[in-house]
Amino acid sequence: MPAKNKGKNPGQILINNIDIRQVYRQHQDIESWRKAIRSAENIYNPYRRPLYDLYADLLLDGFLSSEIQKRINAITNSELVFTDKNGENVEIIDTLIDSIEFEKILTEIMNSKFWGYSLIELDFQPEKIVPTLIDRRYVKPELGIVVKNPVDITGLHYLEPPYDKYVLAVGEKNDLGALMKVAQYVIYKRGNFGDWAQYAELFGMPFRKGKYDGYDETARAQLDEALEKAGSAAYAIIPEGTDIEFIANNSSGNGELYNALRKACNEEISVSIAGQTLTTAQGDKGARSLGEVHESVADDMHQSDKRFVRRILNSQFKLLLEMHGYPVNGGAFMFPSSEEQDKSKKIKIDLSIAKRQPVDDDYFYETYGIPKPDNYDQMKEEMKLDREMMQQLKEPPSPGNKNENLINRLKDFFGQAPAT
């Protein structure tokens, strides 16, 4: 059982020493995006709050948030195991892995890919480890401190005792995440939607024109009131003898230009987050071969995410577990390959069937790639004699008998699936 903290749990010291403020949401444009990046990259006093406020606001975009969640789900939905140096499962670590809190840890590790450097505070409780993300606006990784207010340049050094035993730092110190690149496309798309909505308002409803005697102001006022009460469609009131004309540009008159810009922005978001587009939105022609290429790119990115998460768990996180008394020395976290998971399930089914009805031994040798002994016939005959002798003696076979060799070898062979 892991060692328990004595007295007040110091795992919540950092989060209790910052002055949390709400996200500042404002109109975002390309200039505000550039200013936020310059502020975050300032050499002398990096100030990341404007950039992270921008990120939080941009994640209201459904397409972007969906793309990010797809990559996170690919990790949290994958099988993850921990085995000790002997290849055996560790029950207490299995319990940790199969918890809501551990899924949150995996989620925040993956979020560092999009937000950049992330600091996770861990509260080691008897039966679970509760993670709390330290608001990134209050973390200055270049200085290794957590500040009370985002503008401060002094604070708590989280890489020094006692904080260092309770924090998991993920990512490079100067990493601002993939959202820095994606932000421009979300901003363009928002502006495009505003223009598109205005276009629909102007040209999607009938336009009304009212004329009045240019010298009769009373008639003009009455006409204005009547048109205003007649509905929300646009209208114009002009003097008698004048005219109003709408001059169309060279683009399509049905607003397709706005839709094309929306699609282009979404494609750039997909390429930046998922590495491709066709696993999210079908292309114009839906070419199968191109879709397969894009699916391969998505698989490569998923494997890269697995390696990233596994390395964080097997380095920093495992070290923290060891500090708190968890039996992890010599062991490792790993994602079993899907092929080996399938074979592990298959061998259980095959062995269950073999206990109830005869199964050709060659099936096991060929299916699971186990070399067949050169003296197979001789060993088979010896096994038959051993069974007959034991049946006569009415004694159960001992663990070392030869008739168990094949099954034991199969169990040993598939006892541990290799990591991906």
Q: What is the DSSP string of 156-188?
A: EETTSTTGGGSEEEES-TT---THHHHHHHHHH
Higher pLDDT, 407 or 146: 146
pLDDT at 144: 94
**Per-residue confidence (pLDDT) for residue 204, from 0 to 100:** 65
Please state which of the ranges 290-304, 384-398, 402-416 shows the lowest mean pLDDT.
402-416
Q: pLDDT class for 28, splitting at 50, 70, 90?
A: confident
Q: Nearest-5° angle of CA 261, CA 267, CA 271?
A: 150
Closest CA to 110 of 52, 71, 79: 71
How high is the pLDDT of residue 111?
97
Find the range with the poorest average confidence among 74-78, 313-317, 331-335, 408-412.
408-412
User: What's the pLDDT score for residue 410?
Assistant: 54
Residue 5's pLDDT band (boundaries 50, 70, 90)?
Answer: very low
Q: Report the pLDDT averaged over residues 324-328.
A: 94
Taking residues 17-22, report their average pLDDT: 79
In angstroms, the CA 403 to CA 330 distance is: 34
Residues recorded for the chain: 420
End-to-end CA distance of the chain: 29
- Asked if the model's pLDDT at residue 110 lies above 70, the reply is yes
Which pLDDT belongs to residue 300? 84
Q: What is the mean pLDDT of residues 390-407?
A: 57
**Model pLDDT, residue 21:** 78
Is residue 16's pLDDT more than 90? Answer: no
Chain mean pLDDT for the chain: 80
Which residues does residue 132 pair with via DSSP β-bridges, in sequence order?
A: 121
How high is the pLDDT of residue 96?
95
Does residue 352 have a pLDDT over 80? Answer: no
Q: How does residue 407 score in pLDDT terms, banded at 50, 70 and 90?
A: low
CB 244 within 8 A of CB 236: yes
Q: Which of 86-95, 106-115, 228-237, 325-334 has the lowest mean pLDDT?
A: 228-237
**In the prediction, which pLDDT does 254 show?**
65
pLDDT at residue 8, rounded to an integer? 44
* Residue 370 or 69, more confident: 69
269 contacts 64 by C-beta, under 8 angstroms:
yes
Query: What integer pLDDT is reported at residue 108 of this predicted model?
Result: 97
Q: Is the pLDDT of residue 244 over 70?
A: no
Measured CA distances, 161 to 105, 165, 166 (Å): 22, 7, 9
Regarding predicted confidence, which is higher, 139 or 360? Answer: 139
Task: Name the amino acid, one letter, at 11.
Answer: G
Checking if the pLDDT of 9 tops 60, the result is: no
**Beta bridge partners of residue 92, listed in sequence order:** none
For the ranges 5-19, 20-34, 148-162, 401-415, the lowest mean pLDDT is seen at: 401-415
* Predicted pLDDT at 248: 58
Split at pLDDT 50, 70, 90, the class of 231 is low
pLDDT score of 51 more than 50: yes
pLDDT, residue 386, reads 76
DSSP state of 81: E
pLDDT at 224 over 80: no
Least confident interval from 78-92, 192-206, 217-231, 391-405: 391-405
210 pLDDT higher than 70: no
> Which segments within 113-234 are labelled E, that is strand?
118-124, 129-133, 139-140, 145-146, 156-157, 167-170, 208-212
Strand 235-239 vs strand 208-212: parallel, antiparallel, or unpaired?
parallel
Residue 124 bridge partners (DSSP): 129
Which of the pair, 308 or 201, is modelled with greater confidence? 308
For residue 60, pLDDT over 60 is answered with yes
Among all chains, which residue has been given the structure tokens 């941009």? Answer: 58
Residue 241 tokens, joined: 């003898």
| Amino acid present at 101 | E
